[in-house]
A and B are shown apart, each in its own frame.
Chain A
């Protein structure tokens, strides 16, 4: 690779051709502030509109200051990163940005994690000259089932637009209007609810300010907890335990399973359960469906459609309902673990503890914002009572714990309650890309071949490549598996399925880059993909620690089938644990 030598702040640095000034400066330990720029290196995601102009530097021979995030190094370039001219420019531009930003940090959901706030602090801004005569660009606030848009706080970094279009190919958001009123919005500046939004929450995950935030359900949860007539139970998704610690200053990748259970109990939940249990249940149902379709297909049954697609990710379900409604009979009909949990809790478990489902409140802790929407879907309610009443994100839980003055760091580890707190390693790895299909393979292999699986770790299914494929030998039967994370990658596989080119037997799709560990409800990564990698490692470490690592070996799952469900895909299982999909593509209504 060709290299280039240049001078930054009087120091010579040698970099690869194509390196930006900002990255070259980093090599020298010079930190040039950036605001709109964001990169998730290992996921090949980069946002570089060069719009905020905070990262400008002086380049000798150029008339104007250059944005260091988007200016490539050239041989012999002489750069100054913190001259008085630069400092004055940065401060003035920052004053511009702040002059068009609300000052309600006190009650802003992003306060403390807001990148704009941090930048204002870093640049030492204490007042905004001329604020008294400065008009602000204001917009209508929009609350959807999952996401709140408060565009008064938008600084037009365009990260959300990039995620929604380039990474997710959802296309719900676009830059709209021009000049001072330019912002990012759905078509016709309608509410998100009427757009093709999948609620994947990746826009929220990258928003530097409080412009895009999750709908906060912790007040509802708190009210349920204080209500003496309610029994409140909680389920926690696998990816939550691998990230929650970050909110309490722990190193990314720290597992806090036991502390989290302890915190939830302290918060007053009557039962602390695990979504991993429901993940094991999902494998039983989805795995059985896979084998059924596969065997029928092998026996020449033309009605058996392959590949089968996983269906545990609600963002992904929304995506194919909007964009591939013609393929809605292809995905597995199995509900997601969150909803399986809710369905079992409000029937089997409610019976067991003799509580009417109306008085049983099911709360889920999820790394995800689409889960909020999912639990509100009509088909997941019985007599207007939801199977899962409230879904709160990892971030909301962290703030709830802080609110309750609980120091997560000093808590003793505690165990989940039984019966719905017991899980295997297969349930745990649901939290990362490739995990669902690996869990399915562990069970399907044994069910199909009747042999004991010696090697449980399928490393060929792991990794962060956007689209991966592997063939697993089912004792002579090659099972071809495709994996995609990020909806743009999923679209590629789906296009092949639609055109009949797909050669896979099963495909796992996760809407978020990295899978649930990179979900829209997780602690903010602020553009550091090392955090995502550390969470993945934590998930696999938890799996490794588990004595049981195959879903069908979970004793409480076995018991559930014995006592209640019969066998996988039984009539009652079908009724409680399976669902159907809708065509959500907008139709042109023709006036007669």
Chain B
């Protein structure tokens, strides 16, 4: 592995600094800072973590330790249409695993991966609390309830354009 080359655009650096400053550069606010950064950049690349490290004066190793601890944070960019399959118990007992398998097959992806064209990414979620609709699939912000494996193709078709 080679050394991380930190290359960000001026405005990206300014944005990260602004986010950190909005939390008073307080190390205790690290998780809030990371949430806000991820909202802005879509993910948390090493470069972003390096700048946050400088601003909050927290070793970058510690920041990486936090990023890799929480499943909500990601260091890989998500697809344009992130597909998430709820694997909560209610969804599981109602066949979420088969739905997930179908998505894997259709997209040719494993969980955590993104298609080469950057269109779709696949992830599994822990209970989104919509158990009445189990099994539940989220594509971006849109929720699909009571999804059967046969529905998968049609769901993806909506985003094919």
Chain B residues in 8 Å Cβ range of A195: 61
Contact among B50, B61, B68, B69 with A588 in the assembled complex (CB-CB below 8 Å) = B50
Take A176-B68, A588-B13 as given contacts and tell me if A171 and B61 are in contact as well, using a CB distance cutoff of 8 Å.
yes
Measured CB to CB, the nearest residue on chain B to A140 is B1
Measured CB to CB, the nearest residue on chain A to B1 is A190
Q: How far is the CB of A550 from chain B (nearest CB, A)?
A: 42
Cβ contacts B8-26/A at 8 Å (1 or 0 each): 1110010000000000000
How distant is the Cα of A587 from the Cα of B59 in the complex, in angstroms?
14
Q: For the complex, is A131 an interface residue (Cβ under 8 Å from B)? A: no
Q: For the complex, is A513 an interface residue (Cβ under 8 Å from B)? A: no
Q: For the complex, is B7 an interface residue (Cβ under 8 Å from A)? A: yes
Measured CB to CB, the nearest residue on chain B to A191 is B1
Residue from B1, B4, B54 whose CB has the most chain A CB atoms within 10 Å = B1
Chain B residues in 8 Å Cβ range of A77: none
> In which size bucket is the chain B interface?
20 to 34
Contacting pair A165 B10 (CB below 8 A): no
Chain B residues in 8 Å Cβ range of A140: 1
Q: How far is the CB of A328 from chain B (nearest CB, A)?
A: 19
How distant is the Cα of A588 from the Cα of B16 in the complex, in angstroms?
12
Contact among B8, B60, B69 with A178 in the assembled complex (CB-CB below 8 Å) = B69
Contacting pair A588 B59 (CB below 8 A): no
Contact among B4, B5, B13, B59 with A171 in the assembled complex (CB-CB below 8 Å) = B59
Q: For the complex, is B64 an interface residue (Cβ under 8 Å from A)? A: yes
Q: How far is the CB of A8 from chain B (nearest CB, A)?
A: 37
Which listed segment binds B: A55-63, A180-188, A216-224, A377-385?
A180-188
The A-contacting residues of B in range 48-68, CB under 8 angstroms, are 49-51, 54, 59-65, 68
Q: For the complex, is B3 an interface residue (Cβ under 8 Å from A)? A: yes
Contacting pair A586 B65 (CB below 8 A): no
Measured CB to CB, the nearest residue on chain A to B67 is A176
Contacting pair B64 A588 (CB below 8 A): no
Chain B residues in 8 Å Cβ range of A173: 61
Chain A residues in 8 Å Cβ range of B8: 588-591
Cβ contacts A325-342/B at 8 Å (1 or 0 each): 000000000000000000
Contact among B54, B61, B71 with A186 in the assembled complex (CB-CB below 8 Å) = B61
Q: List 16 A-B contacts (CB under 8 A).
A: A165-B59, A170-B59, A173-B61, A174-B59, A176-B61, A178-B68, A187-B64, A188-B49, A189-B64, A190-B1, A190-B3, A194-B4, A195-B61, A586-B6, A588-B50, A591-B9
Chain A residues in contact with chain B, CB under 8 A?
140, 165, 170-178, 185-191, 193-196, 586-591
Closest 6 CB pairs of A and B: A171-B59, A174-B65, A174-B61, A194-B3, A187-B60, A187-B61
Apart from A174-B62, A191-B1, A590-B7, what 16 extra A-B contacts exist at CB < 8 Å?
A165-B59, A170-B59, A172-B61, A176-B68, A176-B69, A177-B69, A178-B71, A187-B46, A187-B63, A187-B64, A188-B46, A196-B59, A586-B50, A588-B13, A590-B10, A591-B8
